[in-house]
Structure 1
Amino acid sequence: MRLTRSHFLKTAVLGAIAAAGIVAWQPLHAAEEAVVIPPPAQDQPASDGLETAVVAGGCFWGVQGVYQHTAGVVSAVSGYAGGTKATADYRTVSSGSTGHAESVQVKFDPKKVSYGKILQIFFSVVHDPTQLNRQGPDSGTQYRSAIFTTSEAQKKVAEAYVAQLDKAKVFGKPIVTKIGKLEAFYPAEAYHQDYLTLHPSQPYIAYNDLPKIENLKKIFAENYIEKPTLVSDAKVTN
């Protein structure tokens, strides 16, 4: 069965699996293998205060989940970037015609995790940066690989890192990740937040996203935290 994420197929997929008597899929085989890559040769120095990174790498459920298990990240929110406020809702973005990409806003402490490390995790375990306008079973520009920079310094680090990885032929194919200035980020609907943690047995999560968490734990052990930093927790404490 091919798993998809369109808003009208999610419940149908789950219903079909339940009807077949399957309780839950286990993440025995990752849909995509992680790639061990070198850290960026150019990075931002640690600074006081929090910084914000916005990245897009396919379904935001898994992207958010990875960064919620990353030490130094104080907030990871699923949302939309690349389009306008008027079209920043899941049903409209799913049409693929809005310019938006499913994205995650990552707020982090640069004294605990650098912007370069955020990008290393992005390219290594979050997604496959050589897939154009798709990730795994999801296709369309809303699933494109993109880095939305929030400063000139971020732009320089991201561009230099892509050039470094391409020159080293780490992936065997060119990186298609688009790098551009963040114009605006719009948080996604509440039901999309913390989705991986709240629905670990959902077939799409079990097959496509939980392996990303395991890869983070294995490849970036020093950056992994067991307890995720959830959006719901932030709402309670703020």
Structure 2
Amino acid sequence: MNFKQTTFTALLRITVGALLLQTAGCSFAAEDPVVIAPPQLDEAAPIAKTETAVLSGGCFWGVQGVFQHLRGVTDVVSGYAGGEANTAQYETVSGGDTGHAESVKITFDPSQVSYGTLLQVFFSVAHNPTELNRQGPDSGTQYRSEVFAQTPEQHRIAEAYIKQLDAAHSFGQPIVTKVEDGKAFYPAESYHQNFLTLNPNYPYIVYNDLPKVADLKKLFSTRYSETPVLTKVSS
């Protein structure tokens, strides 16, 4: 990884993470996972061997890192979704007015892990779905919680699951996650790919994201893979 490529905003994110780490014993605490029921509605018996999902849940470093440790996942790419191709660059997206959200594109084998299971992990450990336009120290519409459905069935499953979780009062507040169709995904810059694995000692990663991977291992032990699936995609 070429650290000279890291933008000012990325460095600011890391600095904020360091400050949070220093004050964690006082007024800050990492997000706790929430144990939730699996979706009552899930995909039918799979026909295809490969499927994709696009999810947005705050900084893509941690979300990518979580799903890279989930069995049945074959690739996870950090990127942008929700806006246009000509604004899908980190410095532009960081302005918060492009319509893009930091997202991950997950390629998975539906015979090993279902779309519903991906959503269960997404809502349980990958992010907090009750936070509006923010996650942890990061705020802005680019950090919103959103499911970019790739098929009508994915849309139906995601909306049904949100209603199920809200009806069960699984979280202390209502879920704010949006479900949207027809939005293209654009891979992020190469220095954002595999960031958690390549930079496990970054304070932001240590404080905000490594606990999510630990929560995945604890709550989904039979689905956890010790070796992450690293993407080879670069932009």
What's the TM-score once normalised by structure 2's chain length?
0.89
Aligned counterparts of 1:212 and 1:127: Cα–Cα separation in 2: 8
Q: Which runs of 5+ in 2 are unaligned?
A: 1-5
Alignment correspondent of 2:32: 33
5 Å-filtered alignment, 1:181-220, equals 181-220=181-220
Q: Distance in 2 between matches of 1:13 and 1:224?
A: 28
Please, what is the CA RMSD of the aligned residues?
2.5
- Residues in 2 aligned to 1:16 and 1:81: alpha-carbon distance in whole angstroms: 25
Are the aligned partners of 1:81 and 1:103 in contact in 2 as well (CA < 8 Å)? Answer: yes
Cα offset for 1:8?
1.7
Q: CA deviation at 1:31?
A: 1.2
Q: Is the 8 A contact 1:73 1:106 kept in 2?
A: yes
- Give the alignment of 1:221-236 within 5 angstroms: 221-232=221-232
Question: In the aligned structure 2, how far is the partner of 1:139 from the partner of 1:94?
Answer: 10
- Are 1:92 and 2:92 counterparts? yes
Equivalent residues of 1:51, 1:109 under 8 A apart:
yes
Q: 1: CA distance between counterparts of 2:143 and 2:88? A: 14
Letter in 2 for 1:108: F
Q: Distance in 2 between matches of 1:41 and 1:14?
A: 39
Moved runs in structure 1, 4+ residues, more than 3 A?
9-18, 27-30
CA contact (8 A) 2:16 2:204 kept: no
1:222 positional shift = 1.0
What's the counterpart of residue 3 of structure 1?
Answer: none
**8 Å CA contact retained: 1:45, 1:114:** no
Matches of 2:204 and 2:12, distance apart in 1: 12
Deviations 1:54-101 (A, max 9, x none): 000000000000000000000100000000000000000000000000
What do residues 20-64 of structure 1 show as CA deviations (whole Å, max 9, x unaligned)? Answer: xxxx98x99961000000000000023132011000000000000
Q: Hey, what's the Cα distance between the residues in 2 that align with 1:13 and 1:184?
A: 26
Q: Which residue of 2 aligns with 1:67?
A: 67
- How far residue 178 of structure 1 moved from its aligned partner, in angstroms, is 0.4
**Cα 1:157–1:226 shift into 2, 3 Å:** same
Equivalent in the alignment of 1:128 = 128
Q: Which residue of 2 aligns with 1:43?
A: 42
Structure 2 CA distance, aligned partners of 1:10 and 1:139? 13
Q: Within 2, Cα distance between the matches of 1:146 and 1:138? A: 15
Q: Is the 8 A contact 1:55 1:148 kept in 2?
A: yes
Q: Give the drift of 1:186.
A: 0.1
Distance 2:201 2:34 in 1: 25
Task: Tell me the distance in 1 between the aligned counterparts of 2:87 and 2:130.
Answer: 27
**Post-superposition offset of 1:15:** 7.8
* Superposed displacement of residue 13, structure 1: 7.5
Pairs aligned (count): 224
1:83 equivalent in structure 2: 83
Cα 1:179–1:9 shift into 2, 3 Å: closer
Deviation, structure 1 residue 163: 0.3
Taking every aligned residue pair, what percent have the same amino acid on both sides? Answer: 57
**Equivalent residue letter for 1:219:** L
The residue aligned with 2:142 is: 142
Residue 210 of structure 1: SS of its match in structure 2? Answer: helix
CA offset at residue 182 of structure 1? 3.6
Name the SS of the counterpart of 2:8 in structure 1.
coil
- For 1:104-183, list aligned pairs within 5 A: 104-183=104-183
Alpha-carbon offset, residue 11 of structure 1: 3.6
Compare 152-161 and 29-38 and name the one that shifted more. 29-38
Q: Structure 1-normalised TM-score?
A: 0.88
